[in-house]
Chains A and B, each alone.
Chain A
Amino acid sequence: DAGVIQSPRHEVTEMGQEVTLRCKPISGHNSLFWYRQTMMRGLELLIYFNNNVPIDDSGMPEDRFSAKMPNASFSTLKIQPSEPRDSAVYFCASSLGLRGANVLTFGAGSRLTVL
């Protein structure tokens, strides 16, 4: 298995532009998580899905952020409009099952820089 695949690996954009980050989870995993990592706040859970349904989006910072999971093999995290404070590394992770001591498999991350 190729693991969790994220794209793009790096994105530099200007304030106000729309940003779309993509994630392909491990085949067979039915839970998907989006995390954001910054120096100031560490790793924060933004949202997670189970069987393509959003379970908890309480970590999404504001309405500029949205996430979708149209099918079991694809998810997007969109920021519109982007702001400099959104600059961070965004990680996608997947796991098998929602209950239990989940072992999350993380992607390599998408480093976003908003100028």
Chain B
Amino acid sequence: AQSVTQLDSHVSVSEGTPVLLRCNYSSSYSPSLFWYVQHPNKGLQLLLKYTSAATLVKGINGFEAEFKKSETSFHLTKPSAHMSDAAEYFCVVSDPVWTGTASKLTFGTGTRLQVTL
């Protein structure tokens, strides 16, 4: 069974400082991993995805994540936070393509990012 654990339910940073949102995964295979963002009263939007290509994945709005198999981690980072980054972030895992069940996404519990002046 696939699962993801988001290690922090809430992270607060000052504007202009780095962001680190932590995610560990558990999978029987080498999974596909995603980060989605949800702004208040909005649907979820894809930030980036890892699908067994380059281990460092760049996404939208300056975010990136690194897949580390040895640590079973997929942490999300951004060098400098902006006020507009305040939102809920979800780490997501799915089975790899060859299993035929790649559509079943498993969401983490989310990390709420607060950005202060």
Query: Are A and B associated in one complex?
Result: yes
Residues of A participating in the B interface, judged by any CB pair closer than 8 Å:
4, 31, 33, 42-43, 45, 48, 50, 55-56, 91, 93, 95, 98-104, 106-109
Inter-chain contact A55/B103, CB cutoff 8 Å: yes
- Evaluate contact between A31 and B90: CB separation under 8 angstroms: no
Where chain B touches its partner, the secondary structure class is: loop
Q: At the interface, is chain A mostly helix, strand, loop or mixed?
A: strand
Q: Which residues of A contact B107 (CB under 8 A)?
A: 42-43
Chain B residues with CB under 8 Å of A109's CB are 41-43
If A42-B110, A43-B107 touch, whether A101 touches B43 (CB-CB below 8 Å) is: no
Report if B83 contacts A (CB, 8 A): no
Name which of B17-25, B62-70, B94-102 contacts chain A: B94-102
Question: Closest A-chain residue to B100, C-beta based?
Answer: A99
Tell me which of A4, A56, A107 contacts B104 (CB under 8 A): A56
**0/1 interface trace, chain B 60-96, chain A, CB 8 Å (1 if under):** 0000000000000000000000000000001000100
Contact B43 A4 (CB under 8 A): yes
The answer for the CA separation of A91 and B42 in the assembled complex, in Å, is 10
Max chain A Cβ within 10 angstroms of own Cβ: one of B32, B43, B104:
B43
> Which one, A43, A95, A101, A103, contacts B90 given CB within 8 A?
A43
* Complex contacts, B26 vs chain A, CB 8 Å: none
Assess whether A95 is in contact with B103, with CB atoms less than 8 Å apart.
Answer: yes
**CA of A102 to CA of B31 in the docked complex: distance in angstroms?**
12
Complex: A5 Cα to B112 Cα, angstroms:
25
Q: Is the CB of B104 within 8 A of A45?
A: yes
